Structure 1
Amino acid sequence: MNIGQLGRNLRVAFTAQIISLVQSCVVTLLLPKFLGVEGYSFWQLFIFYSAYVGFFHCGINDGVYLKYSGLDFSEMNRDAVSGQFRIVVMIQMIFAVIITIILILAPMTYERRIIFFFSVIYMVIFNCSMYMGYIFQAANHTHWYSFSVIIDKLFFLLSLIVLILFGIRDIYIFLCVFIAGSLLNLCYSLYKGRYFLANISVPYKKIWPELKDSIKVGVTLMLSGIASLLIAGIDRFFIDSHWGIIVFGKVSLALSLTAFALVFIRQVSMVFSPALRCTSDDGKLYAYINMFRFCFFLMPWIYFLMIPGKWLINLWLPNYADSVAYLAILLPMCIFDAKMNLVFITYFKVLRREKEMMYVNYLILALSVVFGVISVYVFNSLVLTLISMVAIGAIRCFISEQIIGKLMKVKTMSMSLYELLFAVFHIFISLYTENWVVLVCGLGLILMIQNIVFRDSLKSLLSATYFIMKSKSIRK
């Protein structure tokens, strides 16, 4: 593993995610106040729909990433990369036309139809830009991908502030600005990837074998990704259909708040994945153990941030008191999703166990549907629905841990059970008492016991961190 290149990629990635985090904070804390409950709920509906646009690249993007991961640009098949990009563009256009026709004919409210139209436009731009983003990640030029994210997020952030300062509250203008940022992202990616795109004369007959191989390799990861998104989204779909757009918006706000920590985690996992492919088996094992320990010791501190966060959100967004209550229940999802993204999904990809990941995701999706139907349509309980979402995240994490742990010959069951104790305690206290002193004392006691019981693991993690920092200082 090239520590110098990894460090550069991480620095740019963190910069991108700091900007993303600031943007997320502005969107999450300012938009609800300025758009109102209904307007913000439709904004969340667009974000919800746009999360699923990755279905429509037919696995090509994922396949290209998996095939070329760890190769330099010079080692990649230039004609194949260029030709497959043109095919991705054509596929997006075809899907866009089909979906638009369906939207015109299907019965739905005006607002939902417009939100769908914006999502279709975003689909074309996003899938084309992500194709190039995956090429950059595969070649370990993740800093280019991070720069594209910076351009996108920074443009939207600055535009958002200007719109708010001028008192503009039209949600459709906000959506236009959001898509404009994505378009700038695409333009930058095309410029950086011009080496691959310069040759447009390659016949499609020559590209077809490469395309088939990319789809064959990538479709498993794509299907796994579809299942993963549906796991998170199926309950929101039930909530929207059963309790309406307003409750959907308030739950979505709570989920957005839990996602803040994941902004960093997803970017770090993106950087580690190609680096770990070039690492020895011992290096992979060493990284796995320390990434797991990192999540175990650091992520529980998020529970403590909930205490001042709850007070501040109630003060700033009094119309969203329900969202704060939902956030208290959903917060453990942040812990489980962080570990899933940083550790397990990374290692499923690095070890080329995409099929196992797909099986896990579809099993969890089936459970999510069952839990959702029971909690929403049988018990008519929103609280039970939210708890089932946390339970699904925990089960998914546990099963993935058993699979990866068996492959890596590492046992971490005791740590996972302790994380579960944290989550259960936090939800129980949040549901049955408003006394923050009880919560702080209880969490503090659990955290203290954790650091005593697992002190050897903590020492090993600190030693590994010190070694990495020392290696970077020596290189400088």
Structure 2
Amino acid sequence: MERGLKSGIITVLIANIINVFFGLATNFLLPKYLSVESYAGIKTFQLYVSYVGLLHLGYVDGMYLKYGGRDLTYKLTEDFSVNFSTMHIFQLAFSFILAIVAFASGDLILGLFIVSAFPQNLNNYFKYLYQATGEFKLYGRAMNLSSFSIFAVNTILLVFKQDVDSVYIISYVIVYYLIWIILEVNFRRKHYIPKTKLFDLKELSEIVRSGFLLTLGNIASMLLTSMDRWFVKFLMDTVAFAHYSFAVSVENFLNLAITPVTTTLYNYFCREQDNAKHKTILQYVLVFATVLPAAAFPVKFILEVYLDKYIESSMVIFILFSAQMFYVIIRSIYVNLYKVQKLQQRYFAKLSIIIVSGFLFNIICYQLSNMKESFAIGTLLAAILWYLITIPDFPKLQLGFKENIYLFSELALFLFVGIEFRAVWGLIIYCILTFILLLILMKGTMKNILAVVLTYVSRRDRLV
């Protein structure tokens, strides 16, 4: 594995481990001490927040594509300066107009979401810029700042025994603004930004046009993964929505573990065009995709001994985690290659098919079984279909027969032991059988992974 790629993954992985720690603490404390109604209100706000990227109309993604693989020097170009200032003016004006409309509608949660859009999209601008230019340490610091701040706010409010969802939501909005100010000041302190015109309509038009399809793809992907929550919210009661939202919150921690891979691989694919090296990375990602969902077992253990009022989320958690086996491969490898090879239209076309299919899967599964687990099954089926219709777009980068057998065997194994066994025994059985399957079906990849690990450990020992 390339040295730069390894260091990038490790740097972002450390940042995400910190994020996981604070995030897990938050997402187990809130449902433990808040009423189901307040927790559901907070989750409604966070559901809105997942679509905040739509409000920059593709500008952040256009910047991401434009500066991918470049170096971020101290003295920035005038071209970037125009891009930077145009983003600020555009988002400020757009968010202000939408906020007036939202508050006029009388929906407080929606209005607070719109007010938070400006700082959130600016924060994402910095994070995407650091990803695109390979500044992974700065990206990690931005991530840590966000996770720690939200954790601190939740902890303080819980200490004072607050159980009103609007108090938490308003606090989150304030935090988003504080984080933006910190990132903005830090960026301007470290980089000389030439003075140019503050707003360029041509720059706005070009960047939005180049990134809009990618943004739609990202939002569509988000819609695909959040569609089940919308169904639960509208078709089932508040308790079911709270239980399902809890499962999704836990699932989101897998995204924190996936981010180091997806983030660094985009920058890597921008620089490295060798298909053979891409295939090796794909094999590593496959192993990662099947090992990562084992995190569901410790979550189930916590539910069994600490948070029993959400134990009904257990089956949903395992079904959603199993879908991540396919999402990890799709997002780490194929989505990054769509971006690098400027295939946004094809990406969006395939994703549109999956959204329609996911919608139908959710309806059919709910009709067959009127339970919240039905929507999780619909999500899993959509993930599998997305994987199957994406791989033909990259004929030189596909898993072999044994590797696909391994992937689907792991899917069946994970669901069976996760649902039928208690947490401790399920984890033991899953780990043992996964290791056996790796030795039988992916022996070569296992040797390569062990060689990388041993090389890294020996290098660390020499440094000590």
TM bucket by the smaller chain?
0.7 to 0.9
Aligned to 2:134, the other structure's residue is in SS state coil
| Counterpart position of 2:130 | 136
2:444 is the alignment partner of 1:456 = yes
C-alpha distance in 2 between matches for 1:191 and 1:9: 25
2:226 is the alignment partner of 1:227 = no
CA change 1:60–1:473 in 2 (3 A) is farther
C-alpha distance in 1 between matches for 2:311 and 2:113: 29
C-alpha distance in 2 between matches for 1:304 and 1:352: 34
CA contact (8 A) 2:36 2:238 kept: no
Q: Supply the AA of the counterpart residue of 2:138.
A: W
Specify which of 117, 134, 139 is matched with residue 111 of structure 2: 117
Specify which of 174, 181, 189 is matched with residue 175 of structure 2: 181
| Counterpart position of 2:145 | 151
2:384 is the alignment partner of 1:389 = no
C-alpha distance in 2 between matches for 1:394 and 1:457: 23
CA contact (8 A) 1:426 1:439 kept: no
2:211 is the alignment partner of 1:218 = yes
Instruction: Write out per-residue CA displacement over residues 10-55 of structure 1, whole angstroms, 9 at most, x where no aligned residue.
Output: 4442332122101210121100011121111111111111010100
CA change 1:460–1:263 in 2 (3 A) is same
| Counterpart position of 1:110 | none
Instruction: Write out per-residue CA displacement over residues 418-474 of structure 1, whole angstroms, 9 at most, x where no aligned residue.
Output: 322322344356566779858854774464134223212221333345456677889
2:331 is the alignment partner of 1:341 = yes
Q: Which moved more, 1:72-81 or 1:84-93?
A: 72-81
Specify which of 397, 402, 415 is matched with residue 403 of structure 2: 415
C-alpha distance in 2 between matches for 1:137 and 1:307: 31
C-alpha distance in 1 between matches for 2:348 and 2:401: 22
CA change 1:461–1:217 in 2 (3 A) is same
C-alpha distance in 2 between matches for 1:468 and 1:433: 36
CA contact (8 A) 2:265 2:333 kept: no
C-alpha distance in 1 between matches for 2:150 and 2:38: 18
Aligned to 2:35, the other structure's residue is in SS state helix
Q: How many residues align?
A: 463
- The normalised TM-score by structure 2 is 0.88
CA contact (8 A) 1:28 1:257 kept: yes
Q: How does 1:37-436 map to 2 (within 5 A)?
A: 37-74=36-73, 78-106=77-105, 113-194=107-188, 198-199=193-194, 201-202=196-197, 204=199, 207-279=200-272, 281-282=273-274, 285-286=276-277, 288-302=278-292, 304-376=294-366, 380-404=370-394, 406-408=395-397, 410-428=398-416
Superposition deviation, residue 78 in structure 1? 2.9
Superposition deviation, residue 255 in structure 1? 1.6
| Counterpart position of 1:36 | 35
Superposition deviation, residue 224 in structure 1? 0.9
Aligned to 2:128, the other structure's residue is in SS state helix
Superposition deviation, residue 364 in structure 1? 0.7
C-alpha distance in 2 between matches for 1:385 and 1:124: 32
CA contact (8 A) 1:8 1:143 kept: no
Q: Supply the AA of the counterpart residue of 2:265.
A: F
Q: Supply the AA of the counterpart residue of 2:171.
A: V
C-alpha distance in 1 between matches for 2:209 and 2:184: 25
CA contact (8 A) 2:365 2:375 kept: yes
Aligned to 1:82, the other structure's residue is in SS state helix
Aligned to 1:223, the other structure's residue is in SS state helix
CA contact (8 A) 2:76 2:193 kept: no
C-alpha distance in 1 between matches for 2:134 and 2:50: 25
Aligned to 2:34, the other structure's residue is in SS state helix
CA change 1:85–1:376 in 2 (3 A) is farther
C-alpha distance in 1 between matches for 2:176 and 2:225: 23
Aligned to 2:171, the other structure's residue is in SS state helix
Structure 2 stretches of 5 or more lacking a match?
A: none
Q: Which moved more, 1:247-256 or 1:456-465?
A: 456-465
RMSD: 3.2
C-alpha distance in 2 between matches for 1:435 and 1:249: 22
Superposition deviation, residue 362 in structure 1? 1.1
CA change 1:10–1:438 in 2 (3 A) is closer
CA contact (8 A) 2:23 2:147 kept: no
Superposition deviation, residue 245 in structure 1? 3.1
Q: Supply the AA of the counterpart residue of 1:414.
A: K
CA change 1:10–1:179 in 2 (3 A) is farther
CA contact (8 A) 1:58 1:222 kept: yes
CA contact (8 A) 1:152 1:184 kept: no
Structure 1 stretches of 5 or more lacking a match?
A: 108-112
Q: Supply the AA of the counterpart residue of 1:202.
A: K
Superposition deviation, residue 198 in structure 1? 4.3
